[in-house]
Amino acid sequence: MNAQTELTELIQALTKQDWEAVDSLLETLRQKEWAGATQIIGAAFVLAVHRRFRRGQDPRDIAAFVAETRSRYESGKKLPPLAMEGLIRAALGEVDLMDEISPDNYLPAQIVVVGTILQDENPTQDQLDQFVREVEETAAEHM
């Protein structure tokens, strides 16, 4: 199995809240040093954020979403809320906010945000498959 497959399987496992699969896939990806993760997870993040929020979204709405997201995950409290909010706002066009965020926070924050948005949407398998195809196509454009 290649990293791209594992990353798209991670997206599906997060959506289905299959925490055993999530843990296993995260460990495998860590061992592979997250090969391809920035493209796949980044694409999933941007696409998911644009499905949930709109440009010019009230920052208070984003802050409320981040607070709720952090409360859902066991390790959520470790993620800095301002970094998560900044990543979401950067995906919506406020790219200057990226200068204030440590790159160490990118992947963990993006993963939990994607998981939360997709869990809230509760897509059918066909809708989830379509989302994964869009993620793969978007990531391929930037590889």
**pLDDT higher than threshold 70 for residue 3:** no
Q: Among 46-50, 69-73, 82-86, 97-101, whose mean pLDDT is lowest? A: 97-101
- Is residue 125 within 8 A of residue 103, CB to CB? The reply is no
Residue among 105, 142, 132, 140 at smallest CA distance from 48: 132
**1-5, 39-43, 59-63: the lowest-pLDDT one:** 1-5
Q: Which residues contact 3 (CB under 8 A, 6 or more apart)?
A: 29, 32, 34, 35, 36, 37, 40
Tell me the residue range of the domain where 69 lies. 3-141
Alpha-carbon radius of gyration of the chain: 14
Domains contained in the chain, number:
1
What single DSSP character describes residue 123?
Answer: -
Read off the pLDDT of each residue in 95-114 and give the average, rounded to a whole number: 86
